[in-house]
Structure formats: structure tokens, C-alpha cells
Chains A and B, each alone.
Chain A
Amino acid sequence: MKRSRSRLFTDIATYFILAVATLFALFPVYWTIATSLKTRPDAFVNPPKFFSFDLTWENYTALFEDPTFVRVYINTIVVTLFSTLLAVGVGAMASYSLARSRRFAGRRPLEVSLILLRAMPAVVLIVPLYDMAARFGLLGRLPTLIVIYSVFALPFAIWIMTPFFAAIPMELEESARVDGASSFTIFRRIVLPIAAPGMAATAIFVALLEWNEFLVPVVLGSESTKTLPVFISGFISARNLDWGPMAAASSLAIIPIVVVTILVQRRLIGGLSSGALKE
């Protein structure tokens, strides 16, 4: 009896603490979206209006009337899509190799490179990359951004995917080998279909990284290749008081992320956890 009462108390405490933590986690998200739907006076009023304010779309219509913003949104989608495909495609081949062969020429150098690439501040590479891109006329081009984004995401992609490939039973491939299938056929017909769910989870994660990338496009991009994080960062200098449009642009950056994570929640968590635990 006493034990169950103390259990009830712990349960209530658990719920209470988790509820408070959830409030802290979600309030800034709510506040961003709420501010984006407020009129200018409502956004600036003190004490702040938490729930009772007049809804307006004016911040969003202002953004979409600006042709720059539409361009920015399309740029962000294009760069995210192609760099994710590149990182996951190239990464899957490397992950499969690392998972299947304990020793091969270049394994150790590859591991060292991937770990150091993961650990090094990106700006260390960005300064010389800027110099190189300027000399070869590659500044301000989407393909430049796409390739660099995908390289920066590679260590993460490979780290997450290797356990998925390692979990595929070797016997499946050996039996196909006996039937005379080539390595490429085995990878395409047997390994890829089994690894597909893991690769999909990885692709979602990599896409989030690419969508959020800031340093690469802010340094190596131009007006015509501007992405969403770069556009959003523009609000601090020039238009310091445009909190409404700024909140609207921020909402348009984070709402797709929230929607995607709600849709693929389970897979996403499984993917990240397995990568962190088994590698």
C-alpha cells in the first residue's frame, strides 16, 4: 500500500517535470509562429499577447510578394534535395564497404578523414575553399554549394548507415555469389532493398542538416543562390525591427521540419539511436 502510494507520487512528479520541460521546448516554436501571425502593434505590445491577438497573414503575403523570397525557397529545396541524394548515394557505397570488409586498402585513411572532417570547425575549410572557388570562378553557383554540402554531411551519413549495412546477414550475399551474381548486382538487387528503410531515415536526417546549413551558402553563395538560413540572417543587420516578417520567414524554415519529424518520428529516432550506439 505504502509502495503504491510512493509510486503514484513519483508518477505525478514525472508528469509534472516532463510537462514543464515540454513547455520550455515548445514555447519558442509557438512564439515564432504566433509572432508571424500578429499585426505590427500586437507584436510589440508590452505585456506580450500570448493568445488573444488578431490573426493576420500580412507578414506572409509580404514575403511571397517579394520575388527574391520565392527564389530563395526554391534554391533551398533544390540544394537540399541534390546534396542529400549525393551524400546518401556516395555514403551508402562507402558504408557498405566499411561494413563488409574489415581490412582493405584505404580503410584507415578513410576513417581518419571522416572523423577529422566531423570534428573540424567548418570555417577551417571554408576560408581556403573560398579562395579556391574564387580562382576557378565557382563562387555563387548552386552545384558548388551542392557538392560542398554533401561532403560536409558525409561523415554523419556514413556513421549512421554503416550499422544498417552491417546488420544484413552475410549469407544472403554469399548464396547470390554462388549463383554467379556480380558484386554490383548483389549490392543493387539484395543489399539496397534490405537497407532501404535505414537509408531513408538517413536521407531525412541529412536533408535536415542541408536545409539548416548556413556557413557554406553565406560565404560561397551569392544573391542568386541565397538559401533560407542566409535570407533569415539578413534580418539582423538591415531590418532590425521587422520582427513580423522575420518570424514568418523563420516559421517557413521550421514548419517543414516539424511536419517531417512528426510524420517519420519513429524511423528518425531509430536511425539516430542505432548510429550512435553501434558505431
Chain B
Amino acid sequence: MNPPAAPGDVALEPREASLGLGGLPPMKARTSSITRRAKRTAIFGTLPTWLILIPIGAVPLVVGLWLSVRDENLVSPLPATYVGLENYRTDVFNATFGKALIVTLVIMAIGLLVQVPLGLFLAVLLNRAVRGTQLFRSALITPMLLTPVAVALMFRFMFNSELGVINWALSSLHLPRLDWLGESGPALLAVVIVDSWQAVPFIMLLLLAGLTALPQGPKEAASVDGASAWQSFRYVTLPMLTPVLLVTIMIRLIDGFKLFDIIFILTRGGPGTDTQTVSMLDYNTAFTFLATSRAAAIGTVLAILTLPVYFVWIRVTRIEQ
């Protein structure tokens, strides 16, 4: 793969290259040959990505489509046959899928309503010129990096209705103890709590970066004009922060739609199917009920539901620039 050494190759240490910068003539005349070269380099540079992306990212979508019109499963010894859109009729356009979609949207919506204000609030506090915020920041971002499976399992222990520390805390505050993972309302709340425990630090970190990057001028001007702290936040800081806020919300919506690990450990979609998200439903269909083709039909529809994200993504990142 190594191309033959070009002339001057040996002397090409970065420091010397940058030192030689000053005496260069303008590059205009060479530009078109350079862009052509850059294009060739770019095509070559993206080749390894395509090489692993196609078999693992693209081919499975086609295989999934193929599986979804057959009746493959991991139980029956009979050879699979073509069944047309049967799997879509039985497994996508039914109450179970509808409920899973609603559960997913509810978790996304509650999560967003809790997490974004909380993350924004903490980011604003950390952005104040108060001593020690670095230390608080280090401590506060820890949850977002930890293994979701381990986190969810530990919360499962803490949510335990008899021995868990959360119910102990509730009863010492004279609040009612909850059957956290056994009843649908509390189970949904538990999922949102664990998800938020990891998501709020993430949101906080992104918004803090956004706040730090804002110019100080407009804020000072507002303060000179006698604006209160709240007014200057509401009418100066927040509008300037909107692009970063949109990116953050978009990423959180994506991750909310994908939510899997935490639910798998915490509730497995239970009680019943009350916390079963679309990912969990797809997993259960494939690997609990071993109905590969039916799971592939659900997966294909989920893939189609994902497509609009591309347009939102392009929009939102363009606003940011």
C-alpha cells in the first residue's frame, strides 16, 4: 500500500513544514489541480469506511426486507416460504406494535420535558463565575459515561420494593412506598428516572459548551441597559443558545427512540407490555419468540420511520452554522 517515497519526503517533519510557510508564493494557479487531487484522496480515504459499512450497515437492511416477506423462524424445521406482506399485517398493523410505539413516544416526551430544563439549569449554574465549578462539572458528568447495563442493574437493586434504598428513603420521608417495577405507572417512571440519570449530564455538558462559546458582549449590553438576570437570560442568552439546544434535543430524541439496554435490564418491557418500547418489541419477537421474519418486518418499518431524521439532522446542523 505504501506509495514510493516522494522527493523531499525525509525532510518533511511537521515543524519544518510549518516553518517553510512564510516564503510561499500564492497558490491560485495550482488550485484546480489541488482540488482534483483532494477529490481523489477523499474517495480513497472513504473506501475503508464503505468496505465495512456496506456489509454491516446496508446489506442487513436488504436481508431484513427479504426476511420480512418470508416465514423464517428459529423453531420450525420446515423450509421457509414466501408469504408476501403477511408479517406486516400480523405484527406491525396491530395493537401490540401501536402500544410499543406509544410507550416509546411517551418515554421520549416525558424524558425530554424533564431532562432538557434540568440540564439547561445545571449548565447555567456551572457557567456562573463561581469557584469550584470545574470540580462539580467533573462529578456531574460521571453518570453519562457508565455502562447502562450496570447502571440499570444497580437501580434495579435500589428500586427493590422491600430492601431497596429508594423505598426506604420514601418511607423515612413519610411518603408512600411504591412497587416500582411491578406496577405500570411506577415502572415507566423508573425507566424515565434511570434514563434521565444518564441523559441530564449529557445535555448539561453540551449546553455548557454552547454557553461557554457565546460572545459576552450582548449580555453585558443588556446588563448595562438594566435588564434583570432573568430578562437577560430569556431574551439574550436563550435565543443565542437555540441552535445548540436544537442539536441537543435532536440527539436526545434519537437516543430516546433507540432506548434498549436500560429497559432490558430494568423491566424487560414489563409489567406485561407496559414499558415495552419498539426496540424491546423487535428484540422479543426475534429472540424470545424466535420469529425471525416477523421481527424483520417490525425492523423494516422502524428503519422507514428513521428516514425523516436525515432531513431534520441536515436542517438543524445548518441552523447551527
Q: Which residues of A contact B (CB under 8 A)?
A: 10-11, 14-15, 17-19, 21-22, 24-26, 28-29, 31-32, 35, 44, 46-48, 86, 89-91, 93-94, 96-98, 100-101, 103-107, 110, 112-113, 115-132, 147-148, 150-151, 154, 158, 171-172, 174-185, 187, 189-190, 193-194, 208, 211-212, 214-215, 219, 228-229, 232-233, 235-236, 243, 246-247, 249-250, 253-254, 257-258, 261-262, 265, 269, 272-274, 276-277, 279
Residue B175, interface by CB 8 Å: no
Q: With a CB–CB cut-off of 8 A, which chain B residues contact A247?
A: 154, 157
Q: With a CB–CB cut-off of 8 A, which chain A residues contact B210?
A: 277
- In the complex, the answer to whether B147 meets A110 with C-beta atoms within 8 Å is no
Give B151's nearest chain A residue, CB to CB. Answer: A28
Q: Which residues of B contact A (CB under 8 A)?
A: 2-3, 5-9, 11-14, 17-18, 20-21, 24, 27, 30, 34-35, 37-46, 48-50, 52-53, 56-61, 63-64, 67, 72, 121-122, 125-126, 128, 130, 132-133, 136-143, 145-151, 153-158, 162-163, 165, 168, 172, 197, 201, 205-206, 208-210, 213, 244, 247-248, 251, 254, 257-258, 260-261, 264-265, 278-279, 282-283, 286-287, 292, 295-296, 299-300, 302-303, 306-307, 309-310, 313, 317, 320
- In the complex, the answer to whether B60 meets A125 with C-beta atoms within 8 Å is yes
Q: With a CB–CB cut-off of 8 A, which chain B residues contact A130?
A: 286, 292
Q: Closest 9 A-B residue pairs measured CB to CB?
A: A273-B209, A97-B45, A97-B42, A101-B42, A250-B150, A128-B60, A128-B63, A119-B309, A229-B149
CB distance from A86 to the nearest CB of B (A): 8
CB distance from A200 to the nearest CB of B (A): 16
Q: With a CB–CB cut-off of 8 A, which chain B residues contact A208?
A: 145
Interface centre among B38, B172, B201, B286 (most CB of A within 10 A): B38
- In the complex, the answer to whether A28 meets B282 with C-beta atoms within 8 Å is no
Q: With a CB–CB cut-off of 8 A, which chain B residues contact A257?
A: 145-147
Q: With a CB–CB cut-off of 8 A, which chain B residues contact A44?
A: 163
- In the complex, the answer to whether A253 meets B56 with C-beta atoms within 8 Å is no
In the assembled complex, 16 residue pairs joining A and B whose CB atoms fall closer than 8 Å, in A order, are A11-B130, A14-B130, A18-B125, A47-B172, A113-B58, A122-B260, A131-B63, A151-B57, A172-B17, A175-B24, A179-B7, A247-B157, A249-B150, A253-B147, A261-B141, A274-B209
- In the complex, the answer to whether B138 meets A265 with C-beta atoms within 8 Å is yes
- In the complex, the answer to whether B205 meets A94 with C-beta atoms within 8 Å is no
Given A94-B46, A121-B302, A269 and B141 contact (CB-CB distance below 8 Å): yes
Q: How far is the CA of A212 from the CA of B213 in the complex (A)?
A: 31
Q: With a CB–CB cut-off of 8 A, which chain A residues contact B8?
A: 179-181
- In the complex, the answer to whether A25 meets B307 with C-beta atoms within 8 Å is no
Complex partner residue of B158 from A10, A31, A116, A185, CB under 8 angstroms = A31
- In the complex, the answer to whether A116 meets B39 with C-beta atoms within 8 Å is no
- In the complex, the answer to whether A112 meets B310 with C-beta atoms within 8 Å is yes
- In the complex, the answer to whether A22 meets B206 with C-beta atoms within 8 Å is no
CB distance from B234 to the nearest CB of A (A): 17
Q: With a CB–CB cut-off of 8 A, which chain B residues contact A179?
A: 6-8, 11-12, 17, 20
Q: How far is the CA of A90 from the CA of B132 in the complex (A)?
A: 39
Q: How far is the CA of A33 from the CA of B20 in the complex (A)?
A: 56
Give B206's nearest chain A residue, CB to CB. Answer: A276
Given A28-B155, A113-B57, A101 and B41 contact (CB-CB distance below 8 Å): yes
Give B244's nearest chain A residue, CB to CB. Answer: A277
- In the complex, the answer to whether A190 meets B17 with C-beta atoms within 8 Å is yes
CB distance from B279 to the nearest CB of A (A): 4
Q: How far is the CA of A22 from the CA of B11 in the complex (A)?
A: 52
- In the complex, the answer to whether A147 meets B37 with C-beta atoms within 8 Å is no
Give B250's nearest chain A residue, CB to CB. Answer: A119
Interface centre among A121, A174, A211 (most CB of B within 10 A): A121
- In the complex, the answer to whether B303 meets A120 with C-beta atoms within 8 Å is yes
- In the complex, the answer to whether B153 meets A246 with C-beta atoms within 8 Å is yes
CB distance from B62 to the nearest CB of A (A): 8
Q: How far is the CA of A250 from the CA of B139 in the complex (A)?
A: 19
Interface centre among B5, B158, B257 (most CB of A within 10 A): B158
Q: How far is the CA of A57 from the CA of B296 in the complex (A)?
A: 46
Q: How far is the CA of A127 from the CA of B287 in the complex (A)?
A: 9
- In the complex, the answer to whether A151 meets B292 with C-beta atoms within 8 Å is no
- In the complex, the answer to whether B52 meets A236 with C-beta atoms within 8 Å is no
Give B278's nearest chain A residue, CB to CB. Answer: A121
- In the complex, the answer to whether A104 meets B306 with C-beta atoms within 8 Å is no
Give B15's nearest chain A residue, CB to CB. Answer: A193
- In the complex, the answer to whether B53 meets A117 with C-beta atoms within 8 Å is yes
